[in-house]
Chains A and B, each alone.
Chain A
Amino acid sequence: MAAATIPRMTIEDRLYLIRFKADKESHLVIKDPQVCLDCETKPCTTFCPAHVYEWEDNRITVSYEGCVECGACRIGCPPGNISWRYPRGGFGVSYKYG
């Protein structure tokens, strides 16, 4: 009997399933872009579970609209270069199941 195969999902597919209400302003702010330039591994681009951070054209882009508010980037960024707060009340992720 062939083993069951489970279709792989992209992170975009996954985020599409979540209900978000994005604020106009980002609740995630890179404190000093130079620090990211000097950061060798840029681990935020891999460990963030919502793939909020991407290295493009020599800078970190921050897709805060898809942030699931876990807080991992604030703690995991090696030089502590991410200023992190909760989105304003009524904004951000809103789970149906949780």
Chain B
Amino acid sequence: MAEEKFDVIVVGAGPAGTAAALTAAKAGLDVVVVERGDYPGAKNVMGGVLYADMMSSLIPEFWKNAPLERRIIEQRYFLVHGESAVSIGYRNPQYANDPPNNFTVLRAKFDKWFAEQAEAAGAFIITETVARELIRENGKVIGIRTDREEGDLYADVVIIADGVNSLLAKQAGFHPEWKPDQVALAVKEIIALPKEVIEDRFNIESGQGVTYEFFGQVTNGMVGNAFVYTNNESLSVGLGVMLADLVKSGLHPYDLLDEFKSHPMVAALLKGGETKEYMAHLIPEGGVDAMPPLYGNGFMICGDAAQMVNALTREGSNMAMESGRIAGEVAKLAKDRNDFSVNTLSEYQRRLEKSFVLQDLHQFRNTTKYLEHNQHFLSLYPELADMALHEFFLVDGASKREKIRRIMDRVKQKRSLWRIGRDFYGLYKNMK
């Protein structure tokens, strides 16, 4: 690789990097993407849900060609205690119409297709290449050093989208190493089942899908959750917990996944399925408090590398795409002004603050921490909900008034009403 100069270098071909590359290339900039996998997507993992709104602003009517699995028409949450669960969900088949709301994907397929769209717009993608460090001169990022021979690349601006490990920004001293309570570790399996079986079991038509999220005992009291998402001919089944909790627990994450898969409610959904692939990935959950500076002279940081995940609503891929698109637009603005200093790149931060990305991350900045410090939300409250509803639905000749008295007595034995009120007021305050 000879020494070359581009308008934009993008590091990483995930949702953030590809969105940035596509946007900048469409605007006529000279863009190179450096990806360490055999192909874009080969190293990329998430639970499996992507969002149409952000995709549409990059590729109008993308759903006509993109390799989507199923359009989500039902989202359901289960609070698990023992063999029982309290669940709440929302189902609306209209979500399957054009444009869809959200949909499942297999990242190895989707990211490859997405990167091909950036390529078609003119971006140059180099695979099997690791960006090892940023090249800086006079306080400005001017390129990257890759692990290829003579593999230095130069550009006016480097868009850093190298994912949750965020090694480039860390190496440059833009942020310290993440702490174990700022990341979650998730493990996942792709479990194959015939299309018809999936549609029967989940009560859906061809092309429709569901997301099930499980909280409570499935994570052994650790902060986290488990999930089952429907793909076309497989299920994405996984579980994620805060790394700090997992380190302390002495448990293997794959054993937790096995436990979850064996839960009677889950086993019935997976029965007869064959595991095709197993994977693990970190999820950045430090939020705005862990966020590195998002820009500086000659660089912008997008997506997971900048801790852009809303753990509470399991949104991340949408924030990655939105931040990538905005970074691509700001790169174009910088090119027009011929100014790649903080004067113009600070526009990236300003636009993110106006978007849902930083607004949501600011709103929920303390919620995960609140749940970590009040773990009865994931242990005691599922137990109380189980007890209360079990009592309420059990027909045993007792009057309803008597049943409510029994429920309240048992609740009060576990935690005073005043404490319960304080817990939920605290949760409300931390989500406002």
Residues in A lying within 8 Å of B, measured CB to CB: 3-6, 8-9, 11, 14-15, 17-18, 41, 43, 46-47, 49-51, 68-72, 74-76, 78, 80, 85-90, 92-98
B214 to chain A, nearest CB (A): 15
Residues B210-269 near A (CB distance < 8 A): 234, 243-244, 246-254, 258, 261-262, 264, 266-268
Q: B275, A94: Cβ atoms under 8 Å?
A: no
- Across-interface contacts of A18 in B (CB, < 8 A): 277-279
A16 to chain B, nearest CB (A): 9
The docked-state distance in angstroms from the alpha carbon of A92 to that of B36 is: 10
CB<8 Å pairs between A and B, sample of 30: A3-B268, A11-B254, A43-B248, A43-B250, A46-B252, A47-B185, A47-B246, A47-B251, A47-B253, A70-B280, A71-B164, A72-B280, A72-B282, A74-B177, A75-B177, A75-B243, A75-B282, A78-B247, A85-B132, A86-B165, A89-B130, A94-B38, A94-B42, A97-B107, A97-B276, A97-B279, A98-B41, A98-B106, A98-B109, A98-B277
Report B124-153 CB contacts with A as 1/0, cut-off 8 Å: 000111101000000000000011100000
Task: Say if the beta carbon of B108 comes within 8 Å of chain A.
Answer: yes
Task: Say if the beta carbon of B63 comes within 8 Å of chain A.
Answer: no
Q: B185, A95: Cβ atoms under 8 Å?
A: no
Q: A5, B262: Cβ atoms under 8 Å?
A: yes
Residues in B lying within 8 Å of A, measured CB to CB: 36-38, 41-45, 106-109, 111, 127-130, 132, 146-148, 164-165, 167, 177-180, 183, 185, 187, 189-190, 234, 243-244, 246-254, 258, 261-262, 264, 266-268, 270-271, 275-282
Q: B276, A95: Cβ atoms under 8 Å?
A: no
- Across-interface contacts of A8 in B (CB, < 8 A): 258, 262
- Besides A72-B183, A76-B243, A88-B147, 13 more A-B contacts (Cβ < 8 Å) are A18-B278, A18-B279, A41-B250, A46-B249, A46-B250, A87-B130, A89-B129, A94-B43, A95-B44, A95-B107, A96-B108, A97-B277, A98-B109
Q: A3, B280: Cβ atoms under 8 Å?
A: no
Q: B247, A98: Cβ atoms under 8 Å?
A: no
Q: From B83, which residue of chain A is reached at the shortest CB distance?
A: A3
What's the A-B contact tally at a CB cutoff of 8 Å?
Answer: 153
Q: Assuming the A-B contacts A8-B258, A85-B167, are A98 and B44 also in contact, with contact meaning beta carbons closer than 8 angstroms in the complex?
A: yes
Q: From B177, which residue of chain A is reached at the shortest CB distance?
A: A75
Q: Which listed residue (B244, B271, B281) contacts A4, Cβ 8 A?
A: B271
- Across-interface contacts of B127 in A (CB, < 8 A): 89
Q: A3, B264: Cβ atoms under 8 Å?
A: yes
Q: From B265, which residue of chain A is reached at the shortest CB distance?
A: A3
A10 to chain B, nearest CB (A): 9
Q: B280, A68: Cβ atoms under 8 Å?
A: yes
B233 to chain A, nearest CB (A): 11
- Across-interface contacts of B277 in A (CB, < 8 A): 17-18, 95-98
Q: Which listed residue (B111, B177, B252) contacts A98, Cβ 8 A?
A: B111
A88 to chain B, nearest CB (A): 5
- Across-interface contacts of A86 in B (CB, < 8 A): 36, 130, 165, 167
- Across-interface contacts of A88 in B (CB, < 8 A): 130, 147
- Across-interface contacts of B276 in A (CB, < 8 A): 17, 96-97
B147 to chain A, nearest CB (A): 5
- Across-interface contacts of B183 in A (CB, < 8 A): 72, 75
- Across-interface contacts of A71 in B (CB, < 8 A): 164-165, 282
The docked-state distance in angstroms from the alpha carbon of A95 to that of B111 is: 12
Q: From A80, which residue of chain B is reached at the shortest CB distance?
A: B177
- Across-interface contacts of B253 in A (CB, < 8 A): 47, 49
Q: Assuming the A-B contacts A14-B278, A51-B252, are A75 and B271 also in contact, with contact meaning beta carbons closer than 8 angstroms in the complex?
A: no
Q: A94, B37: Cβ atoms under 8 Å?
A: yes
